[in-house]
Chain A
Amino acid sequence: MHRFLTIAMLVGAASAAVDTQAQWVHYPTAGIPRTKDGKPNLYASTPRTPDGKPDLSGIWEANREGGTGVSFTGGQLPPLFTNIGAQLKGGLPYSAWGRDLFNSRLADNSKDSPDAKCLPIGILWLHSHISPRKILQLPGLVVILYERFTQFRQIFTDGRPLPADPEPSFFGYSSGKWEGDTLVVKTIGFRDDLWADFAGSPLTQYATVTERFRRPNYGNLDIELTVDDPKAYTTPWTVKLNQRILLDTELLEFICVDNEKTLPHMVGK
């Protein structure tokens, strides 16, 4: 019970203000394909940019179907939020070092979770976060605007190589290119102490993350994640997740630090 409460508090710290998103911004999304009865046709064909590539632009929400666990306000958590390896037979292939770190984070009641400390949670965990994100696809650049902490991520698609010695960061350095209708994004340059999910699966500076983004129709975004991190895992592993379009709304402002009072209470065991 104590542990459950702590987890609820942690999720609550970063999620309480989010479940009720989109209460005030009602502005019609332009260009929605509609069925005969006037409802948005989420199965309409994939929109495309003038150069013929699929257009990933839109506001997206993590699909919560099949998820386990509930957030502070009672909403179901998306499938990979708590455990990014939930789809993998036998779970994540932790290295001995990775398992020890994971276990110590669990044993500590996740008190060092970046989510609880108002720090960025990194690109993997953000894909299954319950707050929406807006993708802007531009020539040479894809930007993801996250509602969570009002932060953004850049994915360079102008053909630049990945830097040889990137500055370690929460989001890493991302470069993407199209393979047919799939945007393939490689990211390196992570810090050594990242969390790949809520439970605390590690991600280190040795990681290369490959994301394969595909918009199979108007209303869905499929993302395949491959993590190759020889420090934390014995083999590369791949998981899939799905996001759904959110229409006629906008991102809200979400500032974790504002009137933040929970941190001193995060003391572990």
Chain B
Amino acid sequence: MSLIKGAFVGALGAAGAALAGRALAARSREQRAGGDTRWHVLTVYKPLDELRAGPLPEPLSQLGDAVDVELRAAPGSRGTEIAVRLRDGEPTGLSAVAARVTGQDPRHAVRRALRESRSLIETGEVLHPDARPSNRRTILNRPLGYATSHGREEGLL
């Protein structure tokens, strides 16, 4: 059993390393490409005209002057692309790592706002996780705990 547990820890480590590696590689590519002006874009399944007819969903409007927001029609009747860019740029390199570790990464708010806005536009609400979970935090699952606590704030968006 200890071998299996060791393998599981190894799997966690491998998964964590893979995630971290992918994230760092993405950051590196962003830096080379001038990532401080990157737009964060997702598509919602609603026509541009209908979206423009009303105010922005609250999660996006709450970002206020910190961001530029653009709406454009998606090709093939796929809805509307919502693009958001931080006006003051984004942290890169070590500052990006520090921002994430300290919970000060401004991209977190952008990603969460985009994902929650899509849910609100398409379904009328944002799906919540169980408020009374059955699981327990342990030393081994702390990295997973971090990932779930930022479940809508991290990723490639």
Q: Do A and B come from one complex?
A: no
A residues at B contact (CB < 8 Å) = none
